[in-house]
Amino acid sequence: MSRAVLSAGSNIGDPTAHLRSVVEAFADDLVAVSAVYSTPPWGGVEQEDFRNITLVVDGPHDARGWLERGFELERAADRTREIRWGPRTLDVDVVTVSESGQVVVSGDPDLTLPHPRAAQRAFVLVPWLEIEPDAILWTPDGTRAVSDLVAGLDAAERDAVRPVGRLTGVES
């Protein structure tokens, strides 16, 4: 058994439908799902704003299992990886995983955990804080409260991550 924090985003096609597909796919493992947030694109590529959610899931998968399930959903949404940080139908990232209460730390280039840029990304941290106000994230500088990481973000970046609603019919 493990617990994972996942971040999902979409800005092509029907982002709401893509995000709903993630929640439906993880329904049996779902602990919590955030509101849907509108977030500016990250990484300097001109594109539409994203819709993002963060999920907490608890289930029989190890870290690689969560990653593979995310990849399956991306493939089902016809995700292509042509431009780094470019527009996408669906992106599902594994932010952090705990097994038996221990944070999984991995330097594997295919699955670096905790996610190496999570501590700097408002579109991950703000929705996560909504659903787990006491959440902590292991960083190379030590364990940090997500609330402290959010408070330390640039105010403009933090404030640009805005809730725009909830996925109707979704229980967490």
Q: Is residue 139 predicted with pLDDT exceeding 80?
A: yes
Q: Both tokens of residue 158?
A: 């933090």
> What percentage of the chain exceeds 90 in pLDDT?
74
- Examine residue 37 and state whether it is found in any structural domain, yes or no: yes
- Examine residue 50 and state whether it is found in any structural domain, yes or no: yes
Confidence of residue 149 (pLDDT cuts 50, 70, 90): very high
- Examine residue 140 and state whether it is found in any structural domain, yes or no: yes
Give the span between the Cα atoms of 165 and 86, in whole angstroms.
Answer: 24
pLDDT value of position 109? 87
At residue 109, what is the residue type? P
Q: Is residue 37 predicted with pLDDT exceeding 90?
A: yes
| pTM score | 0.92
- Examine residue 97 and state whether it is found in any structural domain, yes or no: yes
Question: How does pLDDT run across 63-117, given as a tens digit for each residue?
Answer: 999 999 999 999 999 877 676 767 889 999 999 999 998 999 988 888 888 888 9
Question: Where is average pLDDT lowest: 16-30, 66-80, 127-141?
Answer: 66-80
Structural domain range at position 34: 2-164
- Examine residue 171 and state whether it is found in any structural domain, yes or no: no
- Examine residue 95 and state whether it is found in any structural domain, yes or no: yes
- Examine residue 170 and state whether it is found in any structural domain, yes or no: no
Mean pLDDT over each residue of the chain, to the nearest integer = 92
Residues 6+ apart with CB under 8 A from 8: 18, 19, 22, 52, 53, 54, 55, 70, 90, 91, 92, 93
Question: How does pLDDT run across 48-63, given as a tens digit for each residue?
Answer: 999 999 999 999 999 9
Residues 6+ apart with CB under 8 A from 108: none
pLDDT value of position 119? 93
- Examine residue 75 and state whether it is found in any structural domain, yes or no: yes
CATH number, domain with residue 118: 3.30.70.560
Greater model confidence, 44 or 12 = 12
Rounded average pLDDT over 127-150:
96
Total domains, the chain: 1
